[in-house]
Structure 1
Amino acid sequence: MSAPAPDIAAIVAGIDIWQGLTPVPERISGGITNINWRIRIRETGASYFLKIHGAGTELFIDRDVAHEAALKVSDTGYAPKLLHYDPVQGIEVYEFLEGFRSCGVMDIQDPVIRNGVLGAYKAVHTTTQLGRTATGFDQLGGHLERLRKLGAPLPQDFEQLMWQCGRAEAAVRASGFDTCACYNDGYVSNYMVDASKRVKIIDWEYAANNDPYWDLAMMSFESFLLDAATRREMLEVYDGSYRRDVAARIHLYIGVAAITWGCWATLQEQVSQLPFDFGKYADLLFLRGRHSMLAPTWEEALARV
């Protein structure tokens, strides 16, 4: 069932930065978590981006950390500035990124844009810490705990998939890793690019301290950057050199990420009121994770990490 339309007129009327002005709302399609609007100010022509938190998202989004990330990442220049925040009503207002558009998968095949995303990640990873740590394995565990409380259906081979995730976690933790502020998402539409191919990243809702290579894995997974040559190129851009053990870690993270986000989509199927088929999306994600874990390259990565 679709969520009832919010009273957008009442919402914008209560935002102090627009007092005495005439905000004209325009619904933005896209996005599978929140309800988004472009707000044009009739008197000045200026535009703003307004986000209304989706129903049930408090189950899997730490809004306090998301707020912290929005402020800190905007200071790097790679995210829009947060201008208004109302945690009670679940409303955020950002500067509108004029001249920028959302990327598609084909955009990330462009090395200039891809390297721009990697540069944005590097800037955040090397300068920022957040008040919460949530590794990819922590994220998976949190989703699974919530799903079991709800009694949500899971794939028949889910225990096998979790066993493989456990093997990946044991291998990665044995090798050790550092944590820093990470995006933890990678949804390709959240990468924004302008005509000169400058990159900004929006929606830092899932941000937390994590292994930075999880972000590279999520980018690879969401944008289908799965071949060995592209992975080598990404690491050479991000780190300045290629290491087989890091490439193996990214490979394992891609499989774990597929299961993590499959659980996320299953949870969304239970609680979201947005008109999106989260059940089919979950099936696709679990299928991609299963495919990754059944390939011979999975065992090779476990041995190399």
Structure 2
Amino acid sequence: MLEIGAARSDAERTLEAAIVQVEAWKPCCLSYQPVSGGISNTNFLVRVDGDPVGYFVKIPGRGTEMFIDRSAARAASKQAEAMDVGPRTFDFLDHLDIEISEFLDDRRASTHRDFLDPAFRATVVSMYRRLHEAPPLPLTKTVFDMIEEHYEQVKQLGGYWPEDHAWLYRQYKQARAALEASGLDLVPCFNDPMPGNFLVGDDKSIKLIDFEYASNNERLYDLAIWSSEHFFSEDVEQEIIEEYFGRYDKRWHARFIVHKALADIKWSAWALVQNRMSTLDFDFYKYGIWKHMRARSIIYDPRWPSFLKAL
């Protein structure tokens, strides 16, 4: 753990300058250490002398204000806390757009291996159902809004486009038209199911962290991006749909698969923005190209036209 005054990087200096402003912590000795994980921000564990609670402090990454509404993220975190789905949150540094929540020492970040267990997946499905039944969030931001936002940002930043960008954009517009014609089912969505955002207890219970991308969005998008992030087979997707809705329907599965392609287009465009803006040590270019490739693999599937017709 580092003491105040021992900062070695810009992120650590930013952290120190912020946490000394917390009124409740001013009489205390503070120490901190970096926490690995995440590809948007720089994260720290802060210890307050005499306080048994560990604090998770998130320093926003450069440029993240372009696509993250911090006030909306706070509201989503508060709602998750009230539902006992997320950790306790603290408003100590909200005015600096720095997020602070309880550091859950008794839990570990999940891995892809956890999601091989059908019982574990069923627990996650149940949690998603609870999230989706909650009151609407203050921010409505569909996957269409996200894609358009990132496309405009890449243009403004002079970012890289893949050679078949125009073709990919046409496929997205066609899928969007089909989905909007069928009507959108907007509910509170998590939108960011990276394994590290699921914290697992010894009893296999789960808490979610990181609600920066949460918004009212299409219900099946939330399930589809979870499947995409964890490389589920179509057989597993069928189980997820049946577990979530109580029965399986091929039309829901078609919608699910279309949303998987849109999720990859969204995150590939996001990566192209990050490639121009972020100072984190992460290969956003490679990440974006991989996401583009996976979106193509779904759209190239001979069944793609039938998926769109089924919507």
TM-score, structure 1 normalization: 0.94
Of 96, 106, 110 in structure 2, the residue corresponding to residue 103 of structure 1 is: 110
Conserved in 1, the CA contact under 8 Å of 2:190 and 2:211?
yes
Conserved in 2, the CA contact under 8 Å of 1:120 and 1:200?
no
Alpha-carbon distance, 1:148 to partner: 1.2
- Within 1, Cα distance between the matches of 2:11 and 2:133? 41
Aligned to 1:248: 254
Of 277, 284, 287 in structure 1, the residue corresponding to residue 283 of structure 2 is: 277
- Within 1, Cα distance between the matches of 2:278 and 2:101? 24
Of 197, 220, 224 in structure 2, the residue corresponding to residue 190 of structure 1 is: 197
Conserved in 1, the CA contact under 8 Å of 2:22 and 2:93?
no
Aligned partner of residue 162 in structure 2, secondary structure: coil
Give the aligned length: 302
The within-5 A match list for 1:167-186 is 167-186=174-193
Conserved in 2, the CA contact under 8 Å of 1:113 and 1:199?
no
Structure 1: which 4+ aligned runs deviate by more than 3 Å?
none
- Within 1, Cα distance between the matches of 2:141 and 2:100? 26
Determine whether 1:164 maps to 2:171. yes
Conserved in 1, the CA contact under 8 Å of 2:143 and 2:262?
yes
Of 34, 50, 61 in structure 2, the residue corresponding to residue 54 of structure 1 is: 61
Aligned to 2:125: 118
Aligned to 1:299: 305
Determine whether 1:134 maps to 2:141. yes
Q: Which has the higher contact order (CA 8 A, sep 6+)?
A: 1
Alpha-carbon distance, 1:117 to partner: 1.8
Conserved in 1, the CA contact under 8 Å of 2:189 and 2:214?
yes
Q: What RMSD, in angstroms, separates the aligned Cα atoms of the two structures?
A: 1.5
- Within 1, Cα distance between the matches of 2:186 and 2:52? 42
- Within 1, Cα distance between the matches of 2:133 and 2:282? 36
Is the alpha carbon distance of 1:216 and 1:23 closer, same or farther for their aligned partners in structure 2, counting shifts above 3 Å?
same
Aligned partner of residue 185 in structure 1, secondary structure: coil
- Within 2, Cα distance between the matches of 1:187 and 1:17? 33
Alpha-carbon distance, 1:98 to partner: 2.7
Aligned to 1:154: 161
- Within 2, Cα distance between the matches of 1:272 and 1:23? 28
Q: What code does the residue aligned with 1:297 have? A: R
- Within 1, Cα distance between the matches of 2:249 and 2:159? 40
Conserved in 2, the CA contact under 8 Å of 1:79 and 1:202?
yes
Alpha-carbon distance, 1:39 to partner: 1.4
Q: What code does the residue aligned with 1:293 have? A: I
- Within 2, Cα distance between the matches of 1:85 and 1:55? 21
Conserved in 2, the CA contact under 8 Å of 1:25 and 1:38?
yes
Deviations 1:26-47 (A, max 9, x none): 1101211111111123324431
Determine whether 1:260 maps to 2:304. no
Of 77, 83, 91 in structure 1, the residue corresponding to residue 90 of structure 2 is: 83
Deviations 1:58-113 (A, max 9, x none): 00111121111111121111111211253443311101223111111121122222
Aligned partner of residue 94 in structure 1, secondary structure: strand
Aligned partner of residue 113 in structure 2, secondary structure: helix
- What are the ranges of 5 or more consecutive residues in structure 2 without an aligned counterpart? 1-8
- Within 1, Cα distance between the matches of 2:75 and 2:50? 32
Determine whether 1:69 maps to 2:76. yes
Alpha-carbon distance, 1:164 to partner: 1.1
Q: What code does the residue aligned with 1:103 have? A: S
Aligned partner of residue 14 in structure 1, secondary structure: coil
Alpha-carbon distance, 1:156 to partner: 0.6
Aligned partner of residue 5 in structure 1, secondary structure: helix
- Within 2, Cα distance between the matches of 1:43 and 1:122? 39
